[in-house]
Amino acid sequence: MTTQSAGPEIERLIQLLAKLPGLGPRSARRAALALLKKRESLLEPLGAAMRDAAAAIRICSVCGNLDTSDPCALCRDPRRDPHILCVVEDVADLWALERAGIFRGRYHVLGGALSALDGITPERLNVASLVKRIGDGVEEVILAVNATVEGQTTAHYLMDTLAPFGVKVTRLAHGVPVGGELDYLDEGTLSAAFRARREL
Ligand SMILES: [Zn+2]
């Protein structure tokens, strides 16, 4: 522990901020200072917003999404197609797909990806609840997992697990990013795009 240059309340604020993704000790100090300088316009409203969120937050018992109601707003929305399930690793991925506005079915949040190294087994993920949902008239399961080793391991595992149910299982294509130039792609992306080529 380095010498404290501020009171314990401020040090605690910095330590907590440093736990946020993307913030190291240095950027946490800068963030804390920005908050302290704007006590009325930023620090106090942020504190209140955090308290409100902490009190209201619920994990959806159907899909694993984070919301202020259980079932979540997406699961309750009657306009969303219940026959198509999109499986994601994390709520952040669900948010990304919602921002893109491309999917009008329902989601299922796994809560991570399989990883032997980190001891993440299928039992640690929301796999059992996914299998249970298949019985409710689901016709297609889209595996929207990350293009990482863990994501692909998870996709293979889920394909095997869902095979006996006779449900259509699809996954996202791997390929050239929009606006991407071939010369800049890594070999893995380029070969995946090449293999996934399609007739025009
Ligand atoms: Zn839900």
Q: Which amino acid is at 90?
A: D
Which residues place a Cβ less than 5 A from the ion ligand 1?
Answer: 60, 62-63, 65, 71-72, 75
Q: Give the Å distance between the CA of 176 and the centre of ligand 1.
A: 32
Q: Would you state the pLDDT for residue 198?
A: 87
Task: Supply the pTM of this predicted model.
Answer: 0.84
- Å from CA of 56 to ligand 1 middle: 15
- CA 94 – ligand 1 centroid, Å: 11
Q: Does residue 8 have a cis peptide bond before it, meaning omega lies within 30 degrees of 0? A: no
Q: Which residue has the tokens 């910095």?
A: 14
Phi, psi of 107 (to 5 degrees): -110, 165
194/53 Cα distance (integer angstroms) = 45
Instruction: Give the pLDDT means over successive 10-residue stretches in the chain (200 positions).
Output: 75 95 92 96 96 96 96 97 96 96 96 93 94 92 95 96 94 90 91 90
Q: What share of the chain is helix, strand, coil (3-state, %, to 5)?
A: 45, 15, 40
Helix (H) or strand (E) holding 16: helix 8-17
The residues that bridge with 120 in the sheet, in sequence order, are: 115
Residue type, 30: R
pLDDT at 6: 81
CB 8 within 8 A of CB 2: no
